[in-house]
Chains A and B, each alone.
Chain A
């Protein structure tokens, strides 16, 4: 797909020389340079997704639709107005005020963490679809520490996060172990572990250990205040979780690009057989990669309980974080910094989506559609190039992120 997705073992090919006199478009957009090339497809993907989103808004406007026959001009005006209102609300809701920015960062937090989880897997050639399940298990571990041990905040909070790391790592480690030991494909096992985790959480929420005393519905006790994520600015929702996410970006970057372990991860992702012949313990690396990935997803899960009201677990409390994470990792090209920015974008979309739902009555599910469109265009740059008539780069390495079930 892109050069970033797999570790480059050899020096990069120099960018193809562009015909500068005629290709003004390339000069302006910087398609010729590798950095520009990395940016232009995602940017156009987001733009195209927004345009298609606008079409969807227009086509589903049940009040205006009948008007197209009788008074197309008025219908066009109303539709235009509807789209402008919606996207304005999206914009204002995401970056329009201090509170909006706080909301964007707040929603970006779990996305960045889970996105890192998927990205680490991608770099090692493993497709972790199970971030959702790992977040749920990690969250429950953190919650258990959060409500059952009374400790000072300085120890309690790190301990709860540590528990989330352990929980997520164990859950993902199962898939890694099965892959290493029996060759069971991680995509299948992590999908199945997602469902198992969901039902396990449902069960735990009704068990005497977790259920809020005096309640009959599946809801857990609340984490003690000492285990909750403190907010950064009083009155706003963005909390220390965001700093943890940014720290995780730095740690993952260091791990993947500056440590021996990370080198081995990427080497195995590049070519498992090569790694084996270079003396790496591929089986152990599979388990380690999944554990690291699951640990990150686990922190995302902890954030979904300790980082937001009412600091309790409910059924499916991590929502679609695990699936958004796949989109994020692709958009961020599996690079920690890329994931950070992709997470900020999706967080903004989520916060803006809330604004859009409130102000313009557009259901927030549109954000999911936008995300899907963005991923598909990132994954198939040919689509974007075809729409905007951009020349394909001379050399584009095409990598398979995953292998078939047999592999």
Chain B
């Protein structure tokens, strides 16, 4: 038993990229066959899928893309098979992931076409809600990333989002939404600080500290929601940040409504991703943070204050999560309910892993998970036989596949999860 395991391990280690390329190639060809049979042959011939590409009242109104459902599926199947063949030749191993990404994108298109065959579907509406739904996921992922880059695991994202959403609601109801936003971010900072103190000063197991904060947040917010918000309804009606269209850019078909017609949170989130990416890889702060996450002992030797760096980043991560929490109640629903986050923080954690601890990766993963959530909402309208529960599972299954190394090995910061003890 032991020898066979070792032998298998050696075989895997011999050419991991090549093995993966083979797996991806086979998967793509399998998907091609699947698309051909189910989305191609499974549709009545001649039926048309109609996609609305503009929202009512847009400058370029009534843009419509009508496509023969069957032909599109055949075309996609052909491209998938072609991509699969390319990958299987293993001449350009580096492009394996790109081929997989294109393949999965096409698969989504074929799926939508199949679901919308004979019907009209507002594609741009779904893409717009993809962006909106991805915002808390991206912010949660960024929060986790800020912490893990300095080797503190933040499982408490969920609790930070929830508590910040709660405090934001109450303060926003009493005062203005801007004050509510500030209070939510301050709440995130406080919870980040608690996580930092527990893990850095008291050196509690980081995962346990995170779990505790989550339980505490759920318990306290539910308790207060029933005991206080239940009694005083006025505390649970903050206003909402309204959306504003960016001139010119907002009028571009598809791209405009998708990215340039939102509330402040969405714009800030995208700017934040770019900002964090730049800061992490092109500034002194970023270099120091990363060195603390990879090799704190070496960083300490070079005169970097490991503890201060960790405190600062974990608190900043809390602020970002607080901003995400504010988005949930001050932009999306403008009302707090028990366990309002319902696992978004964990999807954020998943996005961070899927995004391989890179801000741009978190953005991409967040959009993919947002797409899955948007799709799940819209499929009910189309009435497809696919149960929405399976779409809800997608982010979690994808994450397992990613951590299992099937889609390439995700490598966390080297010192992730380890407390630092100064000599």
Question: Real complex partners, A and B?
Answer: yes
CA distance A362 to B228 in the complex (A): 11
CB distance from A288 to the nearest CB of B (A): 13
CA distance A373 to B346 in the complex (A): 22
Tell me which residues across on chain B come within 8 A of A182, comparing CB atoms: 403-406
B218's nearest neighbour on chain A, judged by CB, is A368
Decide if B111 is an interface residue (CB 8 Å cutoff): no
Secondary structure type dominating chain A contacts = helix
Tell me which residues across on chain A come within 8 A of B397, comparing CB atoms: 192, 196
Decide if A255 is an interface residue (CB 8 Å cutoff): no
Tell me which residues across on chain B come within 8 A of A375, comparing CB atoms: 208, 211-212, 215
Decide if A388 is an interface residue (CB 8 Å cutoff): no
Decide if B18 is an interface residue (CB 8 Å cutoff): no
Partner of B226, one of A187, A326, A363: A363
Known: A191-B346, A323-B215. A379 touches B232 (CB 8 A): no
Tell me which residues across on chain B come within 8 A of A407, comparing CB atoms: 417
Known: A199-B389, A406-B411, A406-B412. A192 touches B399 (CB 8 A): yes
B400 touches A192 (CB 8 A): yes
A363's nearest neighbour on chain B, judged by CB, is B226
Known: A189-B403, A372-B215, A404-B151. A202 touches B389 (CB 8 A): yes
CA distance A199 to B389 in the complex (A): 5
Decide if B26 is an interface residue (CB 8 Å cutoff): no
Tell me which residues across on chain A come within 8 A of B215, comparing CB atoms: 323, 327, 368, 371-372, 375
Question: In A315-330, which residues have CB < 8 Å from any B CB?
Answer: 323, 326-327, 330
Decide if B227 is an interface residue (CB 8 Å cutoff): yes
Decide if A116 is an interface residue (CB 8 Å cutoff): no
Decide if A390 is an interface residue (CB 8 Å cutoff): no
B208 touches A401 (CB 8 A): yes
CA distance A401 to B323 in the complex (A): 31
A402 touches B400 (CB 8 A): no
Size of interface on A: residues with Cβ below 8 Å to B: 59
Known: A404-B417, A406-B416. A398 touches B203 (CB 8 A): yes
A202's nearest neighbour on chain B, judged by CB, is B389
CB distance from B386 to the nearest CB of A (A): 11
CA distance A358 to B305 in the complex (A): 52
Question: In A52-109, which residues have CB < 8 Å from any B CB?
Answer: 56, 60, 62
A201's nearest neighbour on chain B, judged by CB, is B389
Partner of A379, one of B208, B403, B419: B208
Decide if B220 is an interface residue (CB 8 Å cutoff): yes
Decide if A155 is an interface residue (CB 8 Å cutoff): no
Tell me which residues across on chain B come within 8 A of A151, comparing CB atoms: none
CB distance from B123 to the nearest CB of A (A): 25
Tell me which residues across on chain A come within 8 A of B419, comparing CB atoms: 400
Tell me which residues across on chain A come within 8 A of B231, comparing CB atoms: 62
- Counting chain A CB atoms within 10 Å of each CB, which of B227, B231, B419 scores highest? B227
A404 touches B1 (CB 8 A): no
CA distance A360 to B53 in the complex (A): 56
Tell me which residues across on chain B come within 8 A of A200, comparing CB atoms: 389, 393
CB distance from A388 to the nearest CB of B (A): 16
Provide a sorted-by-A list of 30 A–B residue pairs whose CB atoms are within 8 angstroms: A56-B223, A62-B228, A62-B232, A178-B400, A178-B404, A182-B404, A188-B349, A188-B353, A189-B403, A192-B350, A192-B399, A281-B1, A326-B211, A330-B208, A363-B222, A368-B218, A369-B219, A369-B223, A372-B212, A372-B215, A375-B208, A379-B205, A379-B208, A380-B198, A380-B202, A401-B205, A401-B207, A402-B205, A404-B153, A404-B417
